[in-house]
Amino acid sequence: MAQAQARYDEFAEWYEQWIGDAPPLIAAQAGLLPAVAGKRVLDIGCGQGRMSRYLARLGAEVAGVDISAAMLGKARALGPEHITYIHADVTRHPAWWDGRPFDGCTCELALMDIDDLAGTLSTVTAVLRPGGWLVASIVHPCFPGSERGRSSWPPGEGYECEGWWTSPDHNPGGVRIRVGATHRKLSTVLNALLDAGLEAERFVEPPAPVPTYLLWRCRRR
């Protein structure tokens, strides 16, 4: 059962205007996303549907899941109608799942907004077919902050300080001053994938003076 109030519910109107419908970060990495035409794909933390719509344009059968009813309302309003949007907590046992295995899952810059990484990855392995893939992107856990934005970890703290944080000093035009973020060390992320039975295939760090984003593809054993 989804919680009554999600962090993004209050900011759905602002977020839709702020993020727009530019291609997702995953789309810019050649060879990272497998061919999805005719495949069944679950978009985790789909928000207002930017990644879901991108997948649908590529010919995938798409379902998007998110805990924010307000963000899903935006996604449904933006269409297309053949995308299935599900209001649910992805960290819980997927009672909302119809039992049909997914060929793949995506998660575009959303794991920082989900407190329970192990629960999320447990859902991923539950709904994926054997050999199915997960492609995800996050703010790089080692990102120390720059003019592009605050670091992955809490300002004034450090890399070792894991957990949810927010900062009143964040860029007032950005998202973290509003909903915060959950920082995890790189080893925490990688070990969580292994513990969930997901085998890494590829990692990508887009060119930058310092590591800003981390993307990966892994598969269910």
pLDDT tens, position by position, for the chain (221 residues)? 344 568 877 777 777 776 777 889 999 999 999 999 999 999 999 999 999 999 999 999 999 999 999 989 999 998 888 999 999 999 998 999 999 999 999 999 999 999 999 999 999 999 999 999 999 999 999 999 887 777 899 888 899 999 999 877 666 566 677 878 899 999 999 999 999 999 999 999 999 999 999 999 999 99
* Local structure of 115: helix, strand or coil: coil
Reported pTM: 0.92
d(CA 51, CA 111): 14
Q: Which of 94, 212, 85, 47 is nearest to 146 (CA)?
A: 212
d(CA 199, CA 203): 12
What residue has token string 């205007």? 17
With vertex at residue 14, the alpha carbon angle to CA 177 and CA 56, rounded to the nearest 5 degrees, is: 110
pLDDT at res. 179: 78
| Sign of the four-CA dihedral 47, 68, 178, 191 | negative
**E strands, 91-155, in order:** 102-108, 128-139
pLDDT at res. 105: 98
- Out of 3.40.50.720, 3.90.1300.10, 3.40.190.80, 3.40.50.150, select the CATH number for domain 9-18+35-220: 3.40.50.150
* Local structure of 204: helix, strand or coil: strand
What residue has token string 């899952």? 105
Cβ-proximal residues to 81 (8 Å cutoff; 6+ apart), any chain: none
pLDDT at res. 156: 84
pLDDT at res. 114: 93
Which residues share a beta bridge with 193?
Answer: none
Which residues share a beta bridge with 199?
Answer: 219
Which residues share a beta bridge with 202?
Answer: 217
pLDDT at res. 18: 66
